[in-house]
């Protein structure tokens, strides 16, 4: 019994297969992650600001 689902039908690995991600793809992925992290941080800051405005008794730390 497999302990993990097989998501793709795999074929035997050939030692000559180049499965590594190239530098351009890696850079695109890093830029995407940076944008996602920035958007999340902005969203959290906006939520905190909204909560501060809506709660008169709440003080910023």
The residue range of the domain holding 28 is: 24-53
**HSE on the CB side for 41, CA within 13 Å?**
6
36: left (phi over 0), alpha (psi -120 to 50) or beta: alpha
18 lies in a domain?
no
46 lies in a domain?
yes
40 lies in a domain?
yes
Buried b (16+ CB within 10 A) or exposed e, 12-34: eeeeeeeeeeeeeeeeeeeeeee
61 lies in a domain?
no
pTM over 0.75: no
39 lies in a domain?
yes
Q: Where are the alpha helices (DSSP H) in the chain?
A: 23-54
36 lies in a domain?
yes
Q: What is the pLDDT along the chain (61 residues), one digit of tens a residue?
A: 667 777 776 666 666 666 789 999 999 999 999 999 999 999 999 999 888 888 766 555 5
Count of structural domains, the chain: 1
């Amino acid at each position: 019994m497999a302990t993990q689902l097989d998501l793709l039908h795999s074929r035997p690995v050939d030692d000559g297969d180049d499965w590594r991600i190239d530098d351009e793809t890696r850079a695109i992925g890093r830029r995407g992650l940076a944008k996602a992290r920035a958007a999340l941080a902005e969203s959290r800051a906006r939520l905190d600001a909204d909560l501060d405005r809506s709660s008169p008794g709440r003080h910023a730390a």
